[in-house]
Structure 1
Amino acid sequence: MQLADILQQGAVKVVGGCTSKKRLFHDLGALAEQTYGPKAGDVVNALIEREALGPTGVGHGIALPHARLPDVDRIQGLFLRLEKPLHFDSVDRQPVDLVFALLAPEQAGVEHLRALALVSRTMRLPDVCAKLRANTDPGKLYAILTEAQSIQAA
C-alpha cells in the first residue's frame, strides 16, 4: 500500500482559521464529501465518536483522526496543514498543525490498521514534517507526502 493509493491530490488542503477540534472535523467532513463522496455530517459524527474513545493527537504537532463509515468503500485519506496550530488534547500537550485523517469501510480491519501504520510511519519522519510545515501549496504538500512514502519504501 502506498499513500498515493489512499490520498487523492484534491484531499490535501491548507486551512487558515480553524479554532476548535470540532471545527477541524467539520473541515475534514466537507473535504471528504467534496473529494470522495461520503456525507460531511456522517464523517464529522464518526470522527467525533472515535475521538471520544481517546485523542488522536500523537504528538509533535501531528494528529491522525480516523473513523469507520458504512458508506465508505475503500480507505480514504485527507490531509490538512493548519496555518495556526490548534489545541488537540495531544499526548504531549502540544498544539497540532499537521492532520492526516483516514476514513475506512466498517469491515476494513487489517487494511485500516496497515493504512494507519503507513501514515504514522510517514508522519514520524522529521524531514517530511519540516517540509510540510514549510509549504502552503496543496500540490507540493501532496508531492511531499507521496514522495516521502515511496522513498521510505525503497
Structure 2
Amino acid sequence: MKFVDLISPTAVKVVSSTSSKKRLMHDISDLAEGAYGVNAPRILEALMEREALGPTGVGHGVALPHARIPGIDEVAGAFILLEKPVDFDAVDRQPVDIVFAIFAPEEAGVEHLKALALVSRSLRDQGLCAKLRANPVPTTLYTILTETEASKAA
C-alpha cells in the first residue's frame, strides 16, 4: 500500500484552529464526506466509537484516528494539519497538530492494518513531520506525503 493509493488530494486540509477533539472529529468527517462521498455523521459516529475504546493520539503531536465505515469500498485516508494544536488525549499528553484519519470497509482485514502501519511508520519520522508542519498548503502537504514514499522506494 502507498499513500497515493490511500489519500485523495481533496482529502488534505489545513485548519487554523479547532476548539476540541470532538470538533476536530467533525472536521475530519466533513473532509472525508467531501472527498469520498461518505455520509459525515456515519463517519463521525464510527470515529467516536473507536476513540471510546482508547485514544488514537500516538505521541509527538500525531493522531491516527481510524474506523471501519459501513458503505465504503476501499481503505481511504484524510489528512489535517492544525495550525493550533488541540488536546487529543495522546499517550504522551502532548497536543496534536498532525492528524491522519483512516477509513476502512467493515470487512477490510489486512488492508486496514497495512494502511495503519504505513501511516504510523511514516509519521514517526520527525523529519517528515517537520516538513509537514512547515508547509501549511494542502497541495504541498499532499505532495510531501506522496513523494516521501517515492523517494524511499528509489
Please confirm whether the aligned pair reaches a TM-score higher than 0.5, indicating the same fold: yes
**Structure 1 unmatched ranges of 5 or more:** none
1:125-136 superposed matches below 5 A: 125-136=125-136
**Structure 2 unmatched ranges of 5 or more:** none
1:90-129 superposed matches below 5 A: 90-129=90-129
Secondary structure, aligned partner of 1:147: helix
Structure 2 residue 80 is the aligned partner of structure 1 residue 85: no
Letter in 1 for 2:107: Q
Corresponding residue number in structure 1 for 2:69: 69
Structure 2 residue 55 is the aligned partner of structure 1 residue 55: yes
Letter in 2 for 1:116: L
Letter in 2 for 1:110: V
Give the number of aligned pairs: 154
Render the CA deviation track for 1:99-138: whole Å, top value 9, x for unaligned.
0000000010111000000001111111110000001110
Letter in 2 for 1:55: P
Letter in 2 for 1:138: P
Across the aligned residues of Structure 1 and Structure 2, the Cα RMSD in angstroms comes to 0.8
Structure 2 residue 21 is the aligned partner of structure 1 residue 21: yes
Secondary structure, aligned partner of 1:108: coil
Alpha-carbon offset, residue 153 of structure 1 = 3.3
Identity of aligned residues (%): 61
Alpha-carbon offset, residue 152 of structure 1 = 2.7
Alpha-carbon offset, residue 15 of structure 1 = 0.4
Corresponding residue number in structure 1 for 2:37: 37
Give the TM-score normalised by structure 1: 0.98
Secondary structure, aligned partner of 1:18: coil
Q: Show structure 1 runs of 4+ deviating over 3 A.
A: none
Give the TM-score normalised by structure 2: 0.98
Alpha-carbon offset, residue 53 of structure 1 = 0.4
Corresponding residue number in structure 1 for 2:148: 148
Separation in 2, partners of 1:17, 1:97: 10
